[in-house]
Structure 1
Amino acid sequence: MANVISSKIADFVARFPPFNALEKEEIKHLSEEAEVLYFKKGQFVFKQNQKAKPFIYFLKEGQVLLREEAGQENKLIDVCDEGELFGVRAMLTGNPYVFEAYCEEESLVYAFPLSIFKPIVESNNKVSLFFASGLASGQKPDHFNNMALHQESGKITDFLSWQKPLEELSTPLLLIPSETSIKSAALKMTAKATDGIVVVDEAGKALGIVTDTDFRKKIASGVFHIDDPVSKIMSVNLISRNIGFPLAEYLLTMLKNNIKHLLITQENDIVGILNQQTLFSQLQFNPFSILYSIESAESVEKLCMHRNKVDYFLRYYLEQNIHTSVISKLITTVNDALIQKAINFALAELNEKKHYQPDVPFAWISLGSEGREEQLLKTDQDNALIFGEVSAPQLNYVKEYFLQLARRVNDILFQAGFAYCPANMMAGNPEWCLSISEWKNRFKGWIHSPEKEALLLSTIFFDYRYVSGDQQLVKKLNTFLKSEVQANKIFLNFLAKNATKNPAPLSFFKNLVVERSGAHKEEFDLKARALMPLTDIARVLCLEAGNIEIKNTVERYRFLANEDVSRKELYLQAAQAYEFLIHFRALEGIRNSDSGRFIIINQITKFDRQVLRNSFEPIYLLQQMIELKFQLSYFS
């Protein structure tokens, strides 16, 4: 009987990754030692912070939710379906479970002993890469991650460095009371041979941190005296993370919060400071040398040269299946630094030509895919400029100055490889270089008169994102738009109708719908058929929910999943599908030296065609949903 059960286990798991990369004898051995576990709905396979069990789990039947305790609520991290592994983090790190595994349905689970499974992971390059591909952001191994099994195995050590947990800090911890003098703090810092101090209150609670940079900028410049309390020069924007997470997660936290130091804790106790330099020294193939080169570039030519280096690590990260959210954040950070540096160069050039900058605030905003932080490849520019209110006599001079500034920035971005927008949707166009009141009127016109052109422009401009300058201008526009959209909800019906203009990407017979004429005949339009519908639907649903701030499509779907529990699974599927499609397009673009938009179906593998089909399912369901939600049958 035992042989029959183990044989059935082996036959079943062999259909799924990473087991399909194992030898038959390895699967047989695993199956003979597996335990079969049954759970009723509402039971837990394991709980958060529970000591790791000596098993990795495989879901045979049912559904398991991976959730993180967040105060009174549980935050859904992932949904495990048939054929998926969970408990991966604990297996690789040996740490307690960071999530709970809750059975949403009656579930049958295979438990494979780590004593047998872990040596296989360590000895089999394909299996190692499979687990690396899903760990960076806590994502489950799934059919999108199977791409990892097709990659070269020679660079696994490089790739796994992103997944290595932070186990200890190399620099000693130094806690200093807030009333300590700057001079005394500096001496203690030197004696301890550390580059950071944690400033604490009487109860030992962290108030801020002081680094070498603070001493250089605030003491050497004469802003403060060495006898002043150290609290005068501390940075108070404290972000903390617990020790033990993969290095990539600390990197993402730094990027998202635009900081260079993280406070590291363990069970609420401060254990030290993690800085970017230490982090990067542990991350092989580090892209941030490029970022620093961009920020310190002394000429436009060097600026463009440094930006072009990004293409090398982009291909590497894509082919090694680094999680898309990590890659897009890296690329956005580099592009934003490029834009900021281009603005600085342009301002200096105008000043040299005696075109003096008016005392008027301005903000540079990115639009479209760059606004959504989704521009992995160098595509054409989409940007605009907002400037503050000015009196009528000043308007012509102020607008002309900012137009000259914007055109020079557009030229520098062109030199760096970003093509001019064919539709001229750039800040150097007088149509898109406007005062804050003019921008409000422009958006108001689109909302109140949602004609075809207005809807097209709305799909581009509603994805604006602040990049540089006075952020208050962008916040004012956010507040205005939120009010306007809520007061004119009929606009959302038209926007929803526009989101369904492209039919589902699969035909009745589940074939990919290709172009029937034109330059791309018999090719699949990945942007129009798949990416745009998902982008447009996420945008209109977030606007309806009153969220104007989130621009990224994946983040929009995750927001919607938290807002609407009844459709949570659909929204999470849509987020996952979108991440895969962005990744797939970028890889195709790099391999074919184009935008990756049009796919020649007979040139991609059967595996890729199947994964594409799987990722299209949420599009059809979402289009059906908004048809009903916004009663689109009544709108022509």
Structure 2
Amino acid sequence: MTNTIAARIADFLSNYPPFSLLEKDQLHSIAQQVRINYYEQGKAIFLKGEKVHEHFYIVHKGAVDLQKVDEKEEPETIDKCDEGDVFGLRPLFAKENYQINAITDEESVIYAIPLTDFKPIAVSNPQVGNFLMESFASNTRNPYSNEHRGKLFSDETEVSFNKEVLFDLQPIPMVKKMVTVSPETSIQKAATLMNRRKVGSVIVVEEQKPVGIVTDIDFRESIGTGRFRIDDPVNVIMNSPVICYSKGITIAQAQLTMMKHNINHICITKDGTPNTKVKGIVSEHDLMVSQGNNPSVLMKAINRARSTKKLKKIRSKIMFLLQGYIKNNIPLTHISNILFELNDATIKRTIRRCVDKMEEAPPVKFAWMSLGSQGRKEQLLHTDQDNALVFEDVPEEKLEETRAYFLKLARKVTKRLNIIGYEFCPAEMMARNPKYCLSLSEWKNQFSEWVTNPGTDEILLCQIFFDFDITYGEVRLTNSLADHVFGILKGNKNFLTRLAAQALRNPSPLGFFRQFLVEQDGEKKDLFDIKKRGIMPLTDAGRLLILEHQVKNISNTAERFEKLAQLEPNNKELYLACAYSSKALIKFRTRQGLKYKDNGRYINLADLSKEDKVKLKRCFKTIKEIQELIKLRFEVTYI
């Protein structure tokens, strides 16, 4: 008769090294000897100086803190063991007492593996022996996890770009709206045309056929050095003959041609020779933008973009860049900084173009505020737009007229942002909504009202608006607003208490025995909401604690916790764990979103590896710990 308990133990052990390296019969033999121990929270499995046990251990459910003890007998947690983690291996190698404590961090079920039964298998199985030797030598519980250190997810499933053809063999888009001049045109007139059209070259044509090309470099080398006068004809400084290709030249061809001829522009003609009509031009800049792998080039492209359609194309390049960063496991701080700047530049360029298209100049100075994830510099994927607008105070009789102007501008901006890829906010929390297009005094009154009479809706609005970042306009306005907000918050314990209660509205996302809490009904039934249950609790906690300390100009969640670690050294370990967990969860959501081409918010747990689940649970433990701190500090629970 099959021992069902041993079979379940073997099934669990098979997922984790070194047991995953055993033969099937060896695994079942070990499983039959395993002892199952239950510990309440805070119980010692072994202590420093204690004689070694006859077993080593693996966590089945719960968590265990490994602690070193200093000269003053003060314990310090140096590692945390979670589901599948092995500890207490030292007796296999060193005949000495335990050097650390192992204390349960929560209710736990621990499997005890007898050394006498396991050691012969370790000796006879080279893979198991190597694992244990490396573990002991490197002082790590699992040396095989080094390749995943610092990552939330495993590399078992890579993001696929689904490219049917090699990228370098794709055609490079040409610029059709090029500037052309005749050979007799003066250098000054050609330069004026280039400046007016914001381009870096002009094509010299005769009967619409290219005979030469003049670039910024030619003006610098020929005119700036005094070799020619500005009233000389442009043909004296043009480069000729012109290198031509037909439409459809590939990225690889363009790269090789520019390198071979030491040029940075290629003319596109009807048949690919200088004998037919010029159709367009390809520049080295266009080539780099097409490659989409250089943030500085993308930034220049954004700032030069003269249409929403162009900005939308650049946005797709930014997503391609993000895929590469995530695939190569670039640190999230680096990714966030770059993506924030590119997103910010895109929004700024859109606003600037819309201002230029308005019939009149803005009647007063104003500032465009990005809210939510963009305001916190955490927006990586395509998410909805949250924004607001503040304008200078005007006389009462001009207030509505001024607001009407900025509402019209906001409608233009939000419409174009939607085309680019930033979805409309379902709750209409956008500058085109009269509620969020206010004068400076109105905004100050609004915040005072929210803070003075903080109902649930007011608290939610405050949380969003506390994370704003100026994207465009007069920084003096947003600074004044920030000063006002911190002024009314100073010493306002009642509001901070309500904010604390709201920060606990999403408790730790693990149920009894650490099972994930998933959606119970609706369209997302059985899916895990990583934003609501993982990212938002840390965001809310970081915001609350940084406001308590009256720290301005830090809106990013990880940066807030890193600052808190400096301000409260006694809680440094917890705050740094929160900073790491915030970045790890955002990166995990981003990878899921890129993989499934959505916003990554809802996750099918069946698609995750066991390692992913374990590492997510470690992040969620941090959420539980920071919420416990908030409960004690502000003496609240969720209302």
TM-score normalised to structure 2 length? 0.57
User: What is the CA-CA distance between 1:586 and the residue it aligns to?
Assistant: 0.7
2-structure distance, mates of 1:416, 1:130? 40
Residues 602 and 61 of structure 1: CA distance in aligned 2, closer, same or farther (over 3 Å): closer
For the residues of structure 2 that align with 1:478 and 1:587, how far apart are their CA atoms? 34
C-alpha spacing 1:82/1:491, structure 2 compared with 1 (3 Å):
closer
- Residues 369-408 of structure 1 mapped to structure 2, 5 A cutoff: 369-408=373-412
- In the TM superposition, 1:487-506 aligns within 5 A as 487-506=491-510
User: What does 1:149-548 align with in structure 2 at a 5 Å threshold?
Assistant: 285-350=293-358, 354-358=359-363, 360-548=364-552
Instruction: Give me the whole-angstrom Cα distance separating, in 2, the residues matched to 1:64 and 1:349.
Output: 68
Quote the Cα distance in structure 1 between the aligned partners of 2:571 and 2:145: 32
Distance 2:373 2:622 in 1: 21
**Structure 2 CA distance, aligned partners of 1:435 and 1:153?**
47
Stretch moving more, 300-309 or 596-605: 300-309
Distance in 2 of aligned mates of 1:107 and 1:152 = 40
Instruction: Check the 8 A contact 1:503/1:529 in 2, yes or no.
Output: yes
**How far is the alpha carbon of 1:64 from its aligned partner?**
12
The verdict on how the C-alpha distance between 1:147 and 1:521 changes in structure 2, with shifts beyond 3 A counting, is same
Q: 1:63 to 1:297 in 2, by over 3 A?
A: farther
> Is contact 1:362–1:387 with CA below 8 Å preserved after alignment?
yes
Higher relative contact order (CA closer than 8 Å, sequence separation 6+): 2
Aligned mate of 2:579, from 575, 578, 589: 575
2:360 maps to a residue whose letter is: H
Distance in 2 (CA, whole Å) between partners of 1:433 and 1:532 is 26
Structure 1 residue 593 and structure 2 residue 592: aligned?
no
* Counterpart Cα distance in 2 of 1:290 and 1:64: 52
* CA distance in 1: counterparts of 2:367 and 2:439, whole angstroms: 10
Query: How has the CA–CA distance of structure 1 residues 566 and 306 changed in structure 2, closer, same or farther, with 3 Å as cutoff?
Result: same
Assess if the C-alpha contact under 8 Å between 1:482 and 1:546 holds in 2: yes
Give how far 1:148 is off: 5.2
In structure 1, the residue matched to 2:154 is 147
Question: 2:159–2:594: 8 Å Cα contact kept in structure 1?
Answer: no
Deviation at 1:355, TM superposition (A): 2.9
**How many Å separate the matches in 1 of 2:572 and 2:69?**
14
Shift of 1:153: 13
Amino acid at match of 1:356: A
Task: Report the CA distance shift for 1:464/1:518 in structure 2 as closer, same or farther (over 3 A).
Answer: same
Q: Is the 8 A contact 2:153 2:588 kept in 1?
A: no
Question: What secondary structure sits across from 1:509 in the alignment?
Answer: helix
Work out the CA distance in 1 between the residues paired with 2:589 and 2:325: 14
The 3-state SS of whatever aligns with 2:389 is strand
Normalization by structure 1: what TM-score?
0.58
Shift >4 Å, 4+ stretches:
60-65, 79-83, 127-131, 148-154
Helix, strand or coil for the counterpart of 1:468?
strand
Deviation at 1:524, TM superposition (A): 0.9
**Which position in structure 1 is the counterpart of 2:178?**
none
**1:626 Cα deviation after fit:** 0.8
Rounded to whole Å, the distance in 2 between the matches of 1:289 and 1:130 is 35
Cα deviation, residue 357, structure 1: 2.2
Answer whether contact 1:366 1:383 (CA < 8 A) is retained.
yes
Match of 2:611 in 1: 607
| Counterpart position of 1:91 | none
Which residue identity lines up with residue 357 of structure 1 in the other structure?
P
| Number of the residue aligned with 2:259 | none
8 Å CA contact 1:403, 1:433 repeated in 2? yes
**8 A Cα contact 1:481 1:548, kept in partner:** no
The aligned amino acid for 1:564 is E
Alpha-carbon offset, residue 62 of structure 1: 6.0
Q: RMSD value over aligned CA atoms?
A: 3.7
CA offset digits 1:160-183 (Å, max 9, x no partner): xxxxxxxxxxxxxxxxxxxxxxxx
The amino acid across from 2:594 in the alignment is I
In structure 2, how many angstroms separate the alpha carbons of the residues matched to 1:538 and 1:471?
24
The structure-2 alpha-carbon separation of the partners of 1:332 and 1:345, relative to structure 1 and needing over 3 Å to count, comes to same
Alpha-carbon displacement from aligned partner over 1:344-377 (angstroms, at most 9, x marks no partner): 1101110xxx33321x111111001111011110
Question: Which segments of 5 or more consecutive residues in structure 2 lack a partner in the other structure?
Answer: 1-15, 19-47, 49-64, 71-76, 82-98, 102-133, 135-142, 162-215, 225-284
How far apart are 1:309 and its partner, in Å? 1.4
SS at structure 2 position matched to 1:376: coil
Instruction: After superposition, give the CA deviation of every residue in 1:320-362 in whole Å (9 maximum; x if it has no partner).
Output: 1111111111111011111111111101110xxx33321x111
The alpha-carbon distance between structure 1 residues 622 and 128, as it changes in their structure 2 partners (threshold 3 A), is closer
CA shift digits 1:201-234 (9 cap, x unpaired): xxxxxxxxxxx99xx9xxx9xxxxxxxxxxxxxx
Number of equivalences? 399
Give, in angstroms, the shift of residue 149 of structure 1.
Answer: 7.3
Percent identity reads 38
Other structure's SS at 2:512 match? coil
- Residue 147 of structure 1 aligns to a residue whose secondary structure is coil
Offset of residue 503 of structure 1: 2.1
| Cα distance in structure 2, aligned partners of 1:373 and 1:308 | 19
In structure 2, relative to structure 1, the CA distance for the partners of 1:326 and 1:130 (3 Å cut) is: farther
Q: Partners in 1 of 2:533 and 2:609 — Cα distance?
A: 19
Q: Which amino acid aligns with 2:581?
A: A
- Residue of structure 2 aligned with 1:629, choices 613, 619, 633: 633
8 A contact 1:130–1:146 mirrored in 2? no
Contact 2:375 2:469 in 1 (8 A): yes
Instruction: Indicate the SS of the match to 1:418.
Output: coil
Q: Is the 8 A contact 2:152 2:585 kept in 1?
A: no
